[in-house]
Amino acid sequence: MELNRLTAHQLLELIKVNSIESQEIISFLEKRIKEIDNKLNAYVRKDRTVDVKSEENTEGFLKGIPISIKDNICTKWLPTECCSKILEGFLPPYDATVIEKLKSYGAKIFPLKTNMDEFAFGSSTENSYFGPTHNPWNLECVAGGSSGGSAAAVASDEAIFALGTDTGGSIRQPASFCGVVGLKPTYGRVSRYGLIAFASSLDVIGPITKDVYDSALLLNIIAGYDPRDSTSVNIEVPDYLKALNLDIKGIKIGIPKEYFVEGLDKQVKESLDEAISVFKKLGAECREVYLPHTEYAVAVYYIIATAEASSNLARFDGIQYGYRIKQKNLISLYKKTRGQGFGQEAKRRIILGTFTLAHGYYEAYYLRALKVRTLIKNDFDEVFKEVDCLVTPTSPTPAFKIGEKIRDPLKMYLSDIFTISANLAGIPAISIPCGFTKNNLPIGLQILSSPFNEEMVLRVAYNFEQNTVWHKIKPKL
Ligand code: GLN
């Protein structure tokens, strides 16, 4: 049996009856990566030899099952470079809280990190210093972004499961493009300690998995309060696997009208309509709802996210981390290092963010964006008084061609139109496979619910998955 093809829960079942060593699973993954990753580029720095002292406890619950980690989550003594030249060679001296937790549960941190857009800026993984990740379903297409490496690795069985991060859709959109499950938890549900910040009020770490069961299993491990992250929330973490046992009879599903508009791909729309009829068959009540401020989400997001990014990236100055161009005077060291260390998109965001925070523009842009963000959040608060969850497409289109949008940032930004609102409002949302286009590209469906109601999101997703076959279909590589 090819162990790399299994999910974490399938491996756990197998380990119960057979003694499988962590190393066996890793060997299967390594073989797979050797075979196909030159085509996909889901992992970075594959030629690197890693020599990390293993601190893992393979006796824990996960029994040494390997997990793949996005390149912006700190892993002790394992390069963490955000796929940026400016962090070249950065070795964190500590683990992110999620990594500590995974290790304490007996996970093995896979020594290669997954590819991503530089500092998670992007929707296609084309902004990576290490080149784009290709979509396992069609190598000419993008894998989505910014967690494109994690999504492609999971979809192509180069990983058992993975962690991604989501600031405006970076877990859900690549999951939808690659035909896997991506969960963005509520802001504050999972510690951000050790996540290299993009936009601190929006960033969340979450699971990218082959099915919904693994998503719940992984969330059980990484969720919870962390005194080292002042924005993590100190409330009880339920057992997310328990939520999967419940059916969805009588559950009220809202279908937001604003998400079914011009620009929505016809085949995506058809898959969504079919999915809605599945929910109805399972006894859910579906009704149209309204989120009137949706049209402002992209604009608001790109003001807030770039403002926060410009401030977060100020620390990369060639002094403390990674890349440095030595100069006689300090200012020119900063200039040279930052000028050469950051890629185009990072520079664009630093400039945009600095502009909207500048004296004289702050009120007109940043402050106004914050106010509209509140209106967007209020829309969700209102709607969740009426319905238990919302169902929407994850992305208006399936995966697009590599190179298609990279020269037109506005077009690229618009591909996040359905995922961004969840980050602005801080609510949980999942993307699960719900069909394929005629050209055999996966289509994703998004389920959103009220803050800290991941149970509802997972429960509705699981019921759908158990009654459809989409998650079982694998790319031919
Ligand atoms: N595509 C969005 C952006 O470029 C979201 C990225 C993310 O979630 N990290 O900002």
CATH number of the domain where residue 210 is located: 3.90.1300.10
Indicate whether 349 and 259 sit together in one domain.
Answer: no
Q: Are 120 and 144 in contact (CB under 8 A)?
A: no
* Residue 75 CA, ligand 1 centroid: distance in Å: 22
Indicate whether 198 and 320 sit together in one domain.
Answer: no
- Active-site residue list: 70, 146, 170
Last residue of a domain, one of 375, 406, 437: 375
* Residue 208 CA, ligand 1 centroid: distance in Å: 16
What integer pLDDT is reported at residue 53 of this predicted model? 54
Last residue of a domain, one of 347, 375, 403: 375
| CA atoms of 5 and 160, how far apart (whole Å) | 7
Sequence-ordered alpha helix ranges (H) in 161-296 = 172-178, 212-222, 240-243, 266-281
Q: Within a domain: residue 228?
A: yes
Residues 6+ apart with CB under 8 A from 161: 7, 8, 67, 68, 154, 207, 208, 209, 210, 214, 218
Q: Within a domain: residue 477?
A: no
Nearest-atom number in ligand 1 for the CA of 345 is: 4
What integer pLDDT is reported at residue 56 of this predicted model? 62
With CA atoms as reference, report the closest residue to 106 among 74, 54, 59, 162: 59
Token digits of residue 419? 């995922």
What integer pLDDT is reported at residue 150 of this predicted model? 98
Q: Residues of the chain whose pLDDT is less than 70?
A: 49-56
- Single-letter amino acid, residue 195: L
Q: For a ligand 1 pocket test, name from 416, 420, 424 the mutation site with the most ligand atoms within 8 angstroms of its C-beta.
A: 416
| CA atoms of 30 and 12, how far apart (whole Å) | 20
* Residue 385 CA, ligand 1 centroid: distance in Å: 29
Q: Whose CA is nearest to atom 3 of ligand 1?
A: 122
**Angstrom distances, CA of residue 315 to CA of 120, 196, 311, 325, 443:** 16, 11, 8, 15, 38
* Residue 289 CA, ligand 1 centroid: distance in Å: 26
What integer pLDDT is reported at residue 51 of this predicted model? 57
Q: Are 75 and 30 in contact (CB under 8 A)?
A: no
* Residue 123 CA, ligand 1 centroid: distance in Å: 6
Range of the domain at 73: 3-292+376-472
With CA atoms as reference, report the closest residue to 298 among 168, 400, 119: 168
| CA atoms of 468 and 459, how far apart (whole Å) | 14
Nearest-atom number in ligand 1 for the CA of 416 is: 1
Q: For a ligand 1 pocket test, name from 118, 119, 121 the mutation site with the most ligand atoms within 8 angstroms of its C-beta.
A: 121
With CA atoms as reference, report the closest residue to 412 among 422, 423, 403: 403
Q: Within a domain: residue 314?
A: yes
With CA atoms as reference, report the closest residue to 293 among 325, 319, 244, 259: 259
Indicate whether 257 and 300 sit together in one domain.
Answer: no
* Residue 169 CA, ligand 1 centroid: distance in Å: 6
Helices and strands, counts by H and E, the chain: 15, 12
Indicate whether 85 and 230 sit together in one domain.
Answer: yes
- Single-letter amino acid, residue 386: E
What integer pLDDT is reported at residue 47 of this predicted model? 85
- The DSSP element (H or E) to which 34 belongs, if any, is helix 22-40
Q: Whose CA is nearest to atom 5 of ligand 1?
A: 168
Indicate whether 265 and 370 sit together in one domain.
Answer: no
What integer pLDDT is reported at residue 50 of this predicted model? 64
- Single-letter amino acid, residue 57: N
Is the pTM here over 0.95, yes or no? yes
Residues 6+ apart with CB under 8 A from 359: none
Nearest-atom number in ligand 1 for the CA of 169 is: 8
Total domains in the fold of the chain: 2
Indicate whether 225 and 354 sit together in one domain.
Answer: no
Nearest-atom number in ligand 1 for the CA of 123 is: 1
Three-state DSSP at 61 gives coil
Burial class (CB in 10 A: 0-12, 13-18, 19+), 212: buried
Indicate whether 123 and 260 sit together in one domain.
Answer: yes
What integer pLDDT is reported at residue 54 of this predicted model? 56
Last residue of a domain, one of 321, 354, 375: 375
Beta strands 252-256; 285-289: pairing state: parallel
Nearest-atom number in ligand 1 for the CA of 423 is: 8
Ligand 1 pocket, Cβ-based, cut-off 6 angstroms = 120-123, 146, 166-170, 198, 305, 416
Indicate whether 314 and 363 sit together in one domain.
Answer: yes
